[in-house]
Chain A
Amino acid sequence: MTDWNRRKVLKGVLNGAAVTVAIPILDCFLDGNGEALAAGAPLPTRFGTWFWGCGINDKRFYPDKLGTDFEFKEETKALDPFKKKITVFSGYNAILDGQPNLTHWSGIMAALSGTVPSKGGNGVGTALASTLDCLVADHIGKGTRFKSIQTACTGQSNVSYSMLAGNTVNPSEVDPVSLYKRLFGPAFQDPNSGDFKPDPNVMLQQSVLSSVKDGRDDLMRSVGSSDRARLDQYFTSLRQVEQQLAVQLEPPAPAEACVVPKAPEALEPGTTWEDATMMHDKLTDLLVMALACNQTRVFHMALSAAVSNLRKAGQSVALHELTHEEPIDAKLGYQIETTYFLEQSMDVFASLLKKMEAVKEGNGTLLDHSLILALSESNLAKFHTLESLPMIVAGSAGGRWKSGQHINGKGDTVARVGLTVQQSLGMPVGSWGSGANATSRTITEVL
Chain B
Amino acid sequence: MNISHISKRGRLSRIAIVAGAAVSLFFTVGGISAVKAVDEPVAQAGPATFRRLSEDQYKRSITQIFGPEITVPGRFEPPVREEGLLAIGASHVIVTPAGLEQYAIRGREISAQVLSEDHRSAYLQCGQQAGATFDSACARQFFGKYGRMLFRRPLTDKEMATTLGLAEKTTKTTSDFHRGLGAGLNSLLVSPAFVFRMETVESDPSRADALRLDTYSLATRISFLLWDAPPDEELLNAAADGSLRTNEGLERQVDRLMASPRFEQGVRAFFIDMFGYDQFDGLTKDSAIFPIFNPQLRDDAEEQTLRTIVDLLVTQKGDYRDLFTTRKTFLSRSLGALYGVRVDQRAFGGWMPYEFPAETPHAGLLTLPAFLMLDPSHEGRSSPTIRGKLVRESLLCEKVPAPPANVNFTLVQDTNDPVHKTARKRLSAHNESPACAGCHRITDPIGLALENYTPVGAYRSHENGELIDPSGTFDGKPYGNAMELTKLLRDSEGAPACVVQRVVEYGVGRTLSSGEEAWLGALSQSFAQEGFRFPALLRQVATSPAFQAVSSPALSSPAIALR
Given contacts A121-B402, A317-B381, contact A224 B47 (CB under 8 A): yes
A205-B104, A241-B100 known; A325 and B409 CB under 8 Å? yes
Contacts of A440 in B (CB 8 A): none
**Is A230 a contact of B169 with CB atoms below 8 Å?**
no
B284 touches A231 (CB 8 A): no
A430 to B362, CA, bound (A): 64
**Across the interface, which residues of A come within 8 angstroms of B248, CB to CB?**
none
Interface: A384 (CB within 8 A): yes
A169 with B381: CB separation less than 8 A: no
Evaluate whether A222 and B75 lie within 8 angstroms (CB atoms) in the complex, with A211-B163, A321-B413 already known: no
The yes or no answer to A45 lying at the interface (CB within 8 A) is no
B335 within 8 A of A: no
Q: Are the CB atoms of B78 and A384 closer together than 8 Å? A: no
Stretch at the interface among B130-138, B182-190, B318-326: B182-190
Residue of B80, B193, B380 touching A315 (CB-CB under 8 A): B380
Q: What CA separation (Å) do A394 and B381 show in the bound complex? A: 38
Which residues of A (200-245) have their CB < 8 Å from a CB of B?
Answer: 200, 204-205, 207-209, 211-212, 214-215, 218-219, 221-227, 230-231, 233-238, 240-241, 244
Q: When A and B form their complex, what is the total count of cross-chain residue pairs whose Cβ atoms lie within 8 Å?
A: 214
A316 and B187 within 8 A (CB): no
With A224-B554, A317-B380, A327-B414 as given contacts, are A237 and B97 in contact (CB-CB < 8 Å)?
yes
A271 contact set on B, CB distance < 8 A: 284, 379
CA distance A204 to B115 in the complex (A): 15
A321 touching B98 in the complex, CB below 8 Å, given contacts A222-B200, A226-B555, A383-B406: no
Which of B100, B198, B408, B555 is packed against the most chain A CB atoms within 10 Å?
B100
Given contacts A167-B93, A316-B381, contact A150 B98 (CB under 8 A): yes
Interface presence of A333 (CB below 8 A): no
Measured CB to CB, the nearest residue on chain B to A159 is B78
Interface stretch (choices B154-162, B467-475, B518-526)? B154-162
Please indicate the chain A residues that have their CB under 8 angstroms from the CB of B184 in the complex: 211
B-side interface mostly? loop
Within 8 A of B (CB), among A313-360: 313-318, 320-321, 324-328
Q: Which residues of A contact B99 (CB under 8 A)?
A: 171, 237
Asked if A316 and B415 sit within 8 Å, CB to CB, the answer is: yes
Known pairs A208-B166, A222-B562, A230-B50; A325 contacts B410 (CB<8 A): yes
CB 8 Å contact bits of B262-287 with A (1 = contact, 0 = none):
00000000000000000000101010
Contact, CB under 8 Å: A225 / B555: yes
Q: Which of B406-424 contact A (CB under 8 A)?
A: 406-410, 412-415
Q: Which chain B positions have C-beta within 8 A of A317?
A: 380-381, 415
Q: Which residues of B contact A101 (CB under 8 A)?
A: 405-406
A408 CA to B61 CA in the complex, in Å? 56
Give A220's nearest chain B residue, CB to CB.
Answer: B192
Q: Write out the residue numbers on chain A whose beta carbons fall within 8 Å of the beta carbon of B403.
A: 103
Residue numbers in B under 8 Å from A226 (CB-CB)? 47, 554-555
* A167-B80 contact in complex given A101-B406, A222-B200, C-beta closer than 8 Å: yes
Q: In whole angstroms, how far apart are the Cα atoms of A326 and B170 in the complex?
A: 65
Q: Given contacts A171-B77, A219-B198, A222-B560, are A321 and B174 in contact (CB under 8 A)?
A: no
Question: How many Å lie between the Cα of A209 and that of B407 in the bound state?
Answer: 51
User: Quick check: B402 and A122 within 8 Å, CB to CB?
Assistant: yes
| Whole-angstrom distance between the Cβ of A9 and the nearest chain B Cβ | 33
A132-163 near B? 1/0 per residue, CB < 8 Å: 00000000000000010010000111100000
> Are B192 and A234 in contact, CB atoms less than 8 angstroms apart?
yes
The answer on a CB contact under 8 Å between A327 and B410 is yes
Contact status of A222 and B377, CB under 8 A, knowing A211-B163, A314-B286: no
- Measured between alpha carbons, how far is A362 from B105 in the docked complex, in Å? 36
Is there a chain B Cβ closer than 8 Å to A164's Cβ? yes
Q: Most chain-B CB neighbours within 10 Å: which of A311, A316, A320, A384?
A: A316
Contact at A171–B379, with CB atoms within 8 Å? no
B315 at the A interface (CB under 8 A): no
Kindly state the interface size class of chain A when it binds its partner: 35 or more
Chain B residues positioned under 8 Å from A307 (CB to CB): 377
A219 close to B173 (CB less than 8 A): no
Tell me if A90 is interfacial: C-beta within 8 Å of chain B: no
Q: Is the CB of A309 within 8 A of B379?
A: yes
Evaluate contact between A171 and B192: CB separation under 8 angstroms.
Answer: no
Does residue A369 face the partner (Cβ distance < 8 Å to B)? Answer: no
* Interface residue from B92, B174, B187 paired with A212 (Cβ < 8 Å): B187
CB distance from A249 to the nearest CB of B (A): 15
**Contact between A208 and B405, CB atoms less than 8 A apart:** no
Chain B minimum-CB-distance residue to A120 = B402
**Residue A100 CB within 8 A of the other chain:** yes
Measured between beta carbons, the chain B residues less than 8 angstroms from A170 are: 96-98
B200 touches A207 (CB 8 A): no
Known A167-B80, A233-B95, A313-B288: A207·B379 in contact at CB below 8 Å: no
Report Cα–Cα, A394/B187, bound state, in Å.
43
- Tell me if A269 counts as interface (CB < 8 A to partner B): yes
The 8 A CB mask of B59-77 against A (1 = contact, 0 = none) is 0000000000000000101
The CA of A224 and the CA of B201, in the complex, are separated in Å by 10
A219 to B78, CA, bound (A): 25
Q: Say if the beta carbon of B205 comes within 8 Å of chain A.
A: no
Query: With A and B bound together, what is the CA distance between A310 and B198 in angstroms?
Result: 40
Q: Do A204 and B170 touch across chains, with their CB atoms under 8 A apart?
A: yes
Write the chain A residue with the least CB distance to B413.
A325
Distance (whole angstroms) from the CB of B179 to the closest CB of chain A: 8
Asked if A155 contacts B282 (CB within 8 A), the reply is: yes
Chain B residue numbers with a CB within 8 Å of A384 are: 405-406
Judge whether B174 and A237 touch: CB under 8 Å: no
Complex A-B: 27 CB contacts under 8 Å: A147-B97, A150-B98, A164-B94, A167-B80, A168-B94, A171-B99, A200-B173, A204-B174, A211-B187, A212-B191, A224-B47, A224-B559, A225-B556, A226-B554, A226-B555, A237-B100, A309-B377, A311-B380, A314-B286, A316-B378, A316-B380, A316-B415, A318-B380, A324-B409, A382-B408, A383-B408, A384-B405
Q: A155-B282, A324-B410 are in contact. List 15 more A-B contacts (CB 8 A).
A: A150-B98, A164-B96, A168-B94, A170-B97, A170-B98, A208-B186, A221-B560, A224-B48, A233-B95, A314-B286, A318-B379, A321-B413, A325-B413, A325-B415, A383-B407
Closest 10 CB pairs of A and B: A316-B380, A324-B409, A314-B288, A101-B405, A224-B555, A237-B100, A227-B50, A158-B78, A225-B556, A240-B97
**A residues lining the B interface (CB < 8 Å):** 100-103, 121-122, 147, 150, 155-158, 164, 166-171, 178, 182, 200, 204-205, 207-209, 211-212, 214-215, 218-219, 221-227, 230-231, 233-238, 240-241, 244, 269-271, 307, 309, 311, 313-318, 320-321, 324-328, 382-384
